[in-house]
A and B are shown apart, each in its own frame.
Chain A
Amino acid sequence: GQNIDQPTEMTATEGAIVQINCTYQTSGFNGLFWYQQHAGEAPTFLSYNVLDGLEEKGRFSSFLSRSKGYSYLLLKELQMKDSASYLCAVRDFSGNTGKLIFGQGTTLQVKP
């Protein structure tokens, strides 16, 4: 079966660092994606990992371990505007359909 787990909610302080974890069990694997979604808006793409290791993009970094079925999104120097839901999604390897399977999302609240 397909299963993607993320914490439901997290709280952090402005200026701090927060790590959002994602574990997955899928029938195939062809990449892991992180999206940011502000309330009532569309998800926007943050990062993509297909090989093990860390991908850094400004204040955001994403890590993948395929053997452990594990990823995390690291947000540094938190800003109030980072308050949003963060969605972990896995692309399975079924015929290059591009379908993504999403976790339930982690709602991050940044406090002053």
Chain B
Amino acid sequence: DGGITQSPKYLFRKEGQNVTLSCEQNLNHDAMYWYRQDPGQGLRLIYYSQIVNDFQKGDIAEGYSVSREKKESFPLTVTSAQKNPTAFYLCATKTNTGELFFGEGSRLTVL
């Protein structure tokens, strides 16, 4: 079955550490997105990529980095520069009919 796989599902990080969240898709979709969700707030766009080897900053890119070396993969690195990284991170692709299809999410907690 086609889908999006995010890993790990839960991740704990000490302050000052970088962590990388994986997002892999086998849907053959070109565009991929990373959103962050905090309690009581909507989803906020971190980075997006419309095609391999190209990506753009979203509304809250500071403290994050991405790469898009393969169509199937769009990993997100949360760096130590991100001051409040504890959140639920959602990866998504854009379907052929235009809506976003989301992975199951990764919950990051900074200790």
A residues whose Cβ falls under 8 Å from a Cβ of B: 4, 8, 31, 33, 40-45, 48, 87, 89, 91, 97-105
Residues of B within 8 A of A42 (CB): 90, 102-105
Within 8 A of A (CB), among B18-63: 31, 33, 35, 40-45, 48, 50, 56, 58
Query: Which 6 pairs of residues, A with B, have the shortest CB-CB distance?
Result: A102-B42, A42-B102, A98-B94, A102-B43, A104-B42, A45-B99
Residues of B within 8 A of A8 (CB): 40
Binding site secondary structure of chain B: strand
Number of A-B contacts (CB under 8 A): 55
Is the CB–CB distance between B56 and A97 below 8 Å?
Answer: yes
Does B101 belong to the interface (CB within 8 Å)?
yes
Question: Can you spell out 21 A-B residue pairs with CB atoms less than 8 angstroms apart?
Answer: A42-B103, A42-B104, A43-B90, A45-B100, A48-B97, A87-B43, A89-B43, A97-B31, A97-B56, A98-B31, A98-B33, A98-B94, A99-B33, A99-B48, A99-B58, A100-B43, A100-B100, A101-B45, A102-B43, A103-B42, A104-B42
